[in-house]
Amino acid sequence: MDDIMVIARSTASRVLRMKAVYFLLAIGVCLIASGQLYGDITAGQQKAYTLDLGFLLVTLVGVLCALVACFDLPRERREKTMVALLSRPLGRDRYLLGKFIGICEIALVCMAIMGAALVVLSAQVASGRPGLEIVKGVIILFAGVVQLAAIGVVLGTFLKEWLATIVALIIFWLIYALGALACTAEGPARVLLMLLPNFAIMSAGGLVVRGVELEWIMVLHALMLAVAYSLAMLVVAGFIFKRKDIA
Query: What's the pLDDT score for residue 140?
Result: 94
Is residue 232 situated within a structural domain? yes
Is residue 176 situated within a structural domain? yes
Domain count, the chain: 1
Give how far the C-alpha of residue 220 lies from the chain's centroid of Cα atoms, to the nearest Å: 16
Is residue 247 situated within a structural domain? no
Cα(32)–Cα(60) distance, integer angstroms: 13
| CA nearest neighbour of 222 among 134, 153, 152, 136 | 136
Triad 186, 235, 16: Cα angle to 5° = 105
Is residue 210 situated within a structural domain? yes
Which amino acid is it at 231?
Answer: L
On the question of pLDDT at 182 being above 80, the answer is: no
Is residue 114 situated within a structural domain? yes
Range of the domain at 22: 2-242
Is residue 96 situated within a structural domain? yes
Assign 148 to helix, strand or coil. Answer: helix
Query: What's the pLDDT score for residue 187?
Result: 67
How many C-beta neighbours within 10 Å does residue 122 have? 23
**CA contacts within 13 A on the Cβ side of 212:** 12
Query: What's the pLDDT score for residue 141?
Result: 94
Is residue 230 situated within a structural domain? yes
- pTM for this model (two decimals): 0.89
Q: How confident is the model at residue 183 (pLDDT cuts 50, 70, 90)?
A: low
What average pLDDT does range 112-131 have in this prediction? 78
Q: How high does pLDDT run on average in the chain?
A: 83
